[in-house]
Amino acid sequence: MFRDALLVLGKDLRIEARAKVTLRQVAPFVVTVMVLFAFGLDRVLVRDANVADTVTDSVPAAYVVPGLIWLTLLFALLLVVSRSVSIEEEDGAGDALRLSGLDPAGIFLGKAGAIVVQLVALELLLVLGSMLFFQARLHAPLLLLSATALATVGMAAVGTCYGALSSGLRSRETLLPVLVMPVVAPVVLAAVQAWQLALVGEVGDGWPWVRLLIVFAVVYVSFGVLAYGALLEES
């Protein structure tokens, strides 16, 4: 299974490296959203959380940045998953993959892993943008890294499953967000809460959200490993 996963992971990443869709399309989208929010929210943000109580109608940037990052990442996920699905529709690649004899669980892990790699690159871009535009200070690195890693895995697992389910449908572009967003929403909310607590210094209250993200990641990955074969047959 893991050998098959590495083969599929390498295939998807090589295709992405040649096409550069994430670099040329998704990354500019992420930067544009960050810039728009930076200008749109500049008047209502307080850069230092300690000053928030003394400024009327203003909120600390620490309460805004996590939501901005994860909401942007959610929309980026839809673009990345759509690209992942389209790879398998080119020249009958999906049929060849199903007939290749590879373990469906390995295919799922490989495709989810490729999505994780792309999301991590986008997350780094978003974090750098938040530090540049909002002067966000990243405290509690262990909490932030744990929440980010678990949320990324959960989002990638959901996107991979529903990407396979919507593959081949004419209305995939509109159906995919309808399927993915309600399932990913709890992951995004938990990640936002963990990030907010980490950025305002309430680290101890952030770990329960990390434990919740562990549950989501385990459930979604387990479902993908067990059900991906059936999803491929239905697609």
65-83 pLDDT per residue, tens: 898 899 999 999 998 988 8
Instruction: Give the model's pLDDT for residue 55.
Output: 47
H-helix segments, 90-103: 93-98
Distance between CA atoms of residues 235 and 227, nearest Å: 13
Give the pLDDT band (50/70/90) at residue 132. confident
Report whether 182 contacts 42 (CB < 8 A).
Answer: no
User: Both tokens of residue 185?
Assistant: 């929403």
DSSP state of 46: E
pLDDT higher than threshold 60 for residue 233: yes
Instruction: Give the model's pLDDT for residue 120.
Output: 95
Report whether 167 contacts 233 (CB < 8 A).
Answer: no
Report whether 72 contacts 126 (CB < 8 A).
Answer: yes
For 15-33, what is the mean pLDDT? Answer: 86
H-helix segments, 60-171: 61-89, 93-98, 104-133, 141-166
Instruction: Give the model's pLDDT for residue 199.
Output: 85
Distance between CA atoms of residues 181 and 158, nearest Å: 9
Three-state DSSP class for 190?
helix
pLDDT tens digits, 90-127: 655 566 666 667 788 888 999 999 999 999 999 999 98
For 153-179, what is the mean pLDDT? Answer: 82
Task: Say how many residues make up the chain.
Answer: 235
Rg (Cα) of the chain, in Å, rounded?
Answer: 19
The burial class, CB within 10 Å (0-12 / 13-18 / 19+), for 36 is: exposed
| Percent of the chain's residues with pLDDT above 70 | 83
Distance between CA atoms of residues 151 and 166, nearest Å: 22
- 11: Cα separation from own chain's centroid: 20
For 183-211, what is the mean pLDDT? Answer: 90
Instruction: Give the model's pLDDT for residue 36.
Output: 86
Computed over every residue of the chain, the mean pLDDT equals 83
